[in-house]
Amino acid sequence: MELQSRATEQFAQHMETVAMAAPGLSEQLAAAAERLVRTFVQGGKVLCSGTGAGALLARHFADLMLHCFERDRLALPAMTLSNVDFGYEQEASGNALPRQLAALGRPGDVLLLVSSGAGDELQQAIAAAHERELSVVALTGHQQEEQTRRTLLDQDDIVLSVQSENHARVLEVQLTTLHILCDLIDTQLLGSP
């Protein structure tokens, strides 16, 4: 029974984190969905990347844009960028993502970043995106929010920050946030279900 109680406690923590996140994220989610749809309609693309487990969430979002979420629609131009250096000497300083942004990013595109931990990769990617005139939508954890806000030089950038100190809860809410973002994009393109 002790494990069952622990499992129930974990569900309760998840639901509490989601309930706390909803009011703060809803307005920013609507703005992010409008930004992404505008980007698609104007012929731009969304470049997705993340750090740690956030890289998997970024890939998942790109896949949902290319295929579909809950309703059938045409593919939307999104791709995943890697922050892995693959052993190239020039990439050893952690500049794999900025180099990809320089090669693939075009003015009007959007960089969607997902990160739940701290690191310089986020700031390097944001700086590289701004150099190429990309706007940024960043999903962060509570610990990164202030650092990310200072780094986001463009007032048009959007930060979706999960207010939790628990890494697992942050990732869970980020996944939910990305699914809601998909739904809001589809609603704009296809109308209400």
Report the pLDDT averaged over residues 33-51. 96
Residue 181: strand, helix, or coil: helix
Residue type, 150: R
CA–CA separation, 193 vs 179, rounded Å? 15
Mean pLDDT across 124-131: 88
Check whether 184 has a pLDDT greater than 80: yes
Other CB atoms within 10 A of residue 148 CB? 23
Rounded Cα distance, 99 and 128, in Å: 8
pLDDT digits (tens, 9 = 90+) for 132-171: 999 999 998 876 666 666 666 577 899 898 888 888 999 9
pLDDT value, residue 149: 62
Other CB atoms within 10 Å distance of the CB of residue 73: 14
Q: Where do the structural domains in the chain lie, given as residue ranges?
A: 2-190
Residue, of 118 and 137, whose pLDDT is higher = 137
pLDDT recorded at residue 154: 72
Q: Convert the pLDDT of each residue in 76-99 to its tens digit.
A: 999 999 876 555 555 455 678 888
How far apart, in whole angstroms, are the C-alpha atoms of residue 71 and residue 126? 32
Pairing of strands 46-50, 78-80: parallel
Residue-level pLDDT at 91: 46
Which single residue is written with the structure tokens 């922050």? 83
Residue with the larger pLDDT of the pair 54 and 116? 54
pTM score: 0.89
Task: Give the right CATH number for 2-190 from 3.40.50.10490, 3.40.50.300, 3.30.465.10, 3.30.450.20.
Answer: 3.40.50.10490
Among residues 189, 137, 145, the alpha carbon closest in space to that of 29 is found at: 137
